[in-house]
Amino acid sequence: MWPAMMPWPATLPPRASFCFKNNGVLPLQNPQRIAIIGRSAKEPHFQGGGSSHVNAIRVSIPFDEVSDVADTDQITYSAGYSADLALDQALIDEATLAAKDAEVACSTSPAHFKESEGYDRNDIDLTVQQVALIKAVSAVQPKTVVILNNGSAVQ
């Protein structure tokens, strides 16, 4: 029965998402050079630990989803931040170069280790690396879309 229901979850994002601020960037108008920035674009965090662990029958990978629907093959990827709390300026620099060369940059966050059902968060902040990344990318690319996929509030 579940596979028959698979189209149903795909209809939720447009109805469950909202935009805080849009200066005419969205919806995207057929950009030819897209920079996808953020580790979670290829390694999405879709569940916590403990009782929230599930064996998903399908996980949408944001980078792959954009690649499938974009009318271009000029899509670049930059991790942007490390898999831990380390501040890595080289990752920010790489992402900034990709954003500068693109028509639009999409930055994804938060880091998977910041939230889980298995423990409480110490704060509601994005990591220092992620904040620095968003600031650097948006400074060189005015058409930056920040995508937050999180289970709680962030600041």
Q: What is the rounded distance in angstroms from the CA atom of residue 102 to the CA atom of residue 27?
A: 16
Domains contained in the chain, CATH given: 31-148 (3.40.50.1700)
Q: Are strands 144-148 and 33-37 parallel, antiparallel or unpaired?
A: unpaired
User: Which residue from 105, 123, 127, 125 is spatially nearest to 41, judged by alpha carbons?
Assistant: 105
Q: Find all residues with CB under 8 Å of 24, minimum gap 6, and list them.
A: none
pLDDT tens per residue, range 117-154: 666 778 888 888 888 999 999 999 999 988 887 777 77
Q: What is the rounded distance in angstroms from the CA atom of residue 106 to the CA atom of residue 103?
A: 10
Whole-model pTM above 0.85? no
At residue 28, what is the residue type?
L
pLDDT tens per residue, range 59-98: 888 889 888 888 878 999 999 988 888 889 999 999 999 9
Q: Identify whether the C-beta of residue 137 lies closer than 8 Å to the C-beta of residue 95.
A: yes
